[in-house]
Amino acid sequence: MDRKAFGTYEQRSTVFLSNNDEVYRIPALFYHPEKKVLLAFAEKRRTSNDASTEDLVMKTGTLMKEELTHEISVQWSESRKVVEKGHLGGRRPMNPCPVYDKTTKTLFLFFICVEDSASETWQRFWGINKARLCYITTRDAGDTWSSVTDLTENFPQTKKWATFAVGPGHGLQTESGRLIVPAYAYVSRFPSFTCISCGLAVSRAFCFYSDDRGVTWQLGDLLDDKSVECEMAEVLDSKGGAYVYCNARNEGGYRVEAVSDNGGEDFITLPSAEQLVETGRGCQGSVVSFPAQPGSNPEPRWLLYSHPTSQSKRVDLGVYINKSPPDPNAWSSPWILNEGPSGYSDQAYLGDGWFACLMERGEVSEIEEIACKVYSYVQLKKAIGN
């Protein structure tokens, strides 16, 4: 297998570049199906510290196809703020998670906002949740945005959590029209305990979902197994069955994979096939489903997954393909998309066998920039050899 990274530094497009005064982290990516543009989101921070987040920012990417080579590049707009800390009563916005309703053509940008002085470590230790669940919307691909909607009071369960977050990365809309926002919460290890302080909180993945185009939202059951940041995708089998697949961060070892046959209301954890390694203390990863490509179609939809491929540190971002989802034994070997320091990523399917990956990367550290690479299934197939 050829694991060599494709493309040089110049062939990637830098989207957000960090410097001494500002650091960009936590990428989220959405491909607008009508406007045919990419929307890239990130946290703008003063430093690398999570607690220094100031704003959520975005750029719009116009796709440019070369006539001779048929390669696709992206021309990015100027960066602009979409959620400002100053407009949230001193709370910092974090974890951008876009989800799109195709019927109303409304893009929801979910995020959490957290009291400025409360780090995640502080919340987990004391068991005092300072995070709130919020979203804004746009119907013109990000040219204008609504005011912030705060859903926190609709979910009294959050008061019993140490903290929680959405995504980060994209949500999804199922074939039935359900909107799904992946999330995770730190809850008590002992269900009978209401106090979850002093290290008694453990993370579980779940989702928020809506069956009425985002008018009202509900909360699904938490995974039984320890699981942190997650993304979800819908897969269809050859018999017409539909499943929501969840791929979640773990702490060392291997990724947590789970599946739901009721649209994310609850999940069953799949036995680990030890195909998808976790990195050190864990790292976010991205998953997206897409139509089976010509020439081989055991199932009507496949999965694509991105994550650092090292089991010890955040380096060598790879992409894996699964042609028989949700079977955890069916993952391919990775194709190294970015050699060297690599962190969080988010994937989008552009259609016609093309993908975009928004990734944290750098030469010395993975937080030097957020870059984007567009590539094709043909390139991926050639690299992994199947």
Res. 5 pLDDT band, cuts 50 70 90: very low
Q: Flag whether 6 is in a domain.
A: no
User: Does the residue 8 lie in any domain?
Assistant: no
Residue 222 sits in a domain whose CATH number is 2.120.10.10
Provide the residue range defining the domain that includes 249.
14-384
Catalytic residue among 31, 243, 344, 377: 344
Residue 156 lies in a domain: yes
Say if CB 57 and CB 374 are below 8 A apart.
no
Q: Is residue 307 part of a domain?
A: yes
User: What is the spatial distance between Cα 131 and Cα 273, in angstroms, rounded to a whole number?
Assistant: 34
Is 150 a domain residue? Answer: yes
Average pLDDT rounded to a whole number, residues 110-118: 91
From 22, 50, 116, 266, the catalytic residue: 50
Tell me whether residue 357 is in a domain. yes
Q: Is residue 2 part of a domain?
A: no
Residue 259 has pLDDT above 90, yes or no: yes
Q: Report residue 142 as tokens.
A: 């990000």
208-226: pLDDT as tens digits: 999 999 999 999 999 999 9
Q: What is the per-residue pLDDT for 230?
A: 98
**344 included as an active-site residue:** yes
Cis-peptide, bond into residue 168, ω within 30° of zero:
yes
**Catalytic residue chosen out of the listed positions 231, 257, 299, 360:** 360
pLDDT-derived band at 297 (thresholds 50, 70, 90) equals low
Please, what sign has the CA dihedral across residues 48, 51, 53, 54? negative
Place 240 in a pLDDT band, splitting at 50, 70 and 90. Answer: confident
Q: Do the beta carbons of residue 62 and residue 75 sit within 8 Å? A: yes
Average pLDDT over residues 176-205: 78
Q: What is the pLDDT of residue 288?
A: 98
Prediction pTM value = 0.94
Q: Which is more confidently placed, 72 or 8?
A: 72
303 with 275: CB under 8 angstroms? Answer: no
* Catalytic-residue membership of 50: yes
Number of domains in the chain: 1
Residue 191 has pLDDT above 60, yes or no: no
Residue 2 has what pLDDT?
A: 40
Q: Is residue 4 part of a domain?
A: no
Residue pLDDT, tens place only, 265-277: 999 999 999 999 9
Q: How confident is the model at residue 8 (pLDDT cuts 50, 70, 90)?
A: very low
- Segment 288-294 mean pLDDT: 93
What mean pLDDT comes out for the span 101-126?
92
